[in-house]
Amino acid sequence: MKSMPRRSDRGRQTLKPKVIKSEAEYRAALARIERIFDAEPGTAKGDELELLLLLVETYEEKAYPIDLPDPITALRFRMEQAGLRPKDLIPYIGSKSKVSEVMSGRRPLSLTMIRKLVAGLHFPAELALQVPTGSVPRRKSVRSRRLQTAPAR
């Protein structure tokens, strides 16, 4: 015997839950979420809303990824949050000149600096351990430059 839809379910537009693979499906899911956004938890609409939100979140993570900020940008933000100035970083990074070099991107954060920043400023290690995108490549030593320009014997 087939179960009859409840009176409250009749005429209700439902979106069959499935993995969102296109922008059109994404927009349709968002429209449905908007229509049922005030659904009570534990109801059929509430369950549908919860499932749609998970599907949309999964699609957005793949379609619109948000990269982590580079370490220096994140450090500047942390300084702003805590009301710190560059001189306040000396215990974590080293001398005033090292702080200046790190903050300008001329010097990468060393492992020792990262450990101190993580422990002292509660700076997220996953941010500090990233390779900065705009960093200046290390200069070759004088010896290696001489070897490249020396004439062959």
- Which of the four pLDDT bands, split at 50, 70 and 90, describes residue 68? confident
Amino acid at 65: P
pLDDT at 7: 45
Lowest model confidence (mean pLDDT) among 14-28, 47-61, 84-98: 14-28
Mean pLDDT of 111-121: 94
pLDDT at 66: 87
- The span from the CA of 68 to the CA of 73, in Å, is 10
Percentage of the chain exceeding pLDDT 70: 76
Q: Residue with structure tokens 């070099």?
A: 101
| Domain positions in the chain | 14-63, 71-128
Q: What angle do CA 16, 19, 23 make, to 5 degrees?
A: 95
Q: Dig out the tokens for 26 from the structure.
A: 């994404």
pLDDT at 150: 56
Alpha helices in the chain (DSSP H): 23-36, 44-63, 71-82, 90-93, 96-104, 111-121, 125-128, 142-149
- Which of the four pLDDT bands, split at 50, 70 and 90, describes residue 153? low
Residue 145: pLDDT over 50? yes
List the CATH code of the domain at 71-128: 1.10.260.40
Q: Residue with structure tokens 């560059």?
A: 86
pLDDT at 67: 85
